[in-house]
Chains A and B, each alone.
Chain A
Amino acid sequence: MFDLTGKCALITGASGGIGAEIAKALHAQGATVGLTGTRVEALEKVAAEIGNERVHILPCNLSDDEALAALPKQAEEAMGSLDVLVNNAGLTRDNLAMRIKDDDWDAVLNVNLTAAFKLSKAVLRGMMKKRWGRIIGITSIVGVTGNPGQTNYAASKAGMIGYSKSLAYEVGSRGITVNCVAPGYIATAMTDELSEDVKSAMLTKIPAGRMGNPEEIAAGVVYLASNEAQYVTGQTLHINGGMAMI
Chain B
Amino acid sequence: MSDVAERVKKIVVEHLGVEEAKVTENASFIDDLGADSLDTVELVMAFEEEFGCEIPDDAAEKILTVKDAIDFIEANA
A contact residues, range: under 10
Q: Does A244 contact B (CB under 8 A)?
A: no
Q: Does B42 contact A (CB under 8 A)?
A: yes
Which chain B residues (10-50) contact chain A, with CB distance < 8 Å?
36, 38, 42, 45
Nearest-CB distance from A113 to chain B (Å)? 23
Query: Within the assembled complex, what's the spacing in Å between the Cα atoms of A171 and B36?
Result: 12
Query: Within the assembled complex, what's the spacing in Å between the Cα atoms of A125 and B42?
Result: 8
Are B45 and A171 in touch, CB under 8 angstroms?
A: no
Interface size on B, residues (CB 8 A): 4
Query: Within the assembled complex, what's the spacing in Å between the Cα atoms of A149 and B63?
Result: 49
Query: Within the assembled complex, what's the spacing in Å between the Cα atoms of A171 and B45?
Result: 15
Secondary structure at chain A's binding surface: helix, strand, loop or mixed? Answer: helix
Q: Does A174 contact B (CB under 8 A)?
A: yes
Nearest-CB distance from B1 to chain A (Å)? 27
Name the A residues within 8 Å of B45 (CB-CB).
Answer: 125, 128
Name the A residues within 8 Å of B36 (CB-CB).
Answer: 173
> A115-158 interface mask toward B, CB cutoff 8 Å, 1 = contact, 0 = none?
00000000001001000000000000000000000000000000
Nearest-CB distance from A95 to chain B (Å)? 39
> A169-187 interface mask toward B, CB cutoff 8 Å, 1 = contact, 0 = none?
0110110000000000000
Name the A residues within 8 Å of B38 (CB-CB).
Answer: 128, 170-171, 173-174
Nearest-CB distance from B43 to chain A (Å)? 11
> A34-75 interface mask toward B, CB cutoff 8 Å, 1 = contact, 0 = none?
000000000000000000000000000000000000000000
Name the B residues within 8 Å of A125 (CB-CB).
Answer: 45
Name the B residues within 8 Å of A174 (CB-CB).
Answer: 38
Name the A residues within 8 Å of B42 (CB-CB).
Answer: 128
> A90-129 interface mask toward B, CB cutoff 8 Å, 1 = contact, 0 = none?
0000000000000000000000000000000000010010
Q: Apart from A125-B45, A170-B38, what are 7 other A-B pairs with CB-CB below 8 Å?
A: A128-B38, A128-B42, A128-B45, A171-B38, A173-B36, A173-B38, A174-B38
- B: which residues have CB within 8 A of A? 36, 38, 42, 45
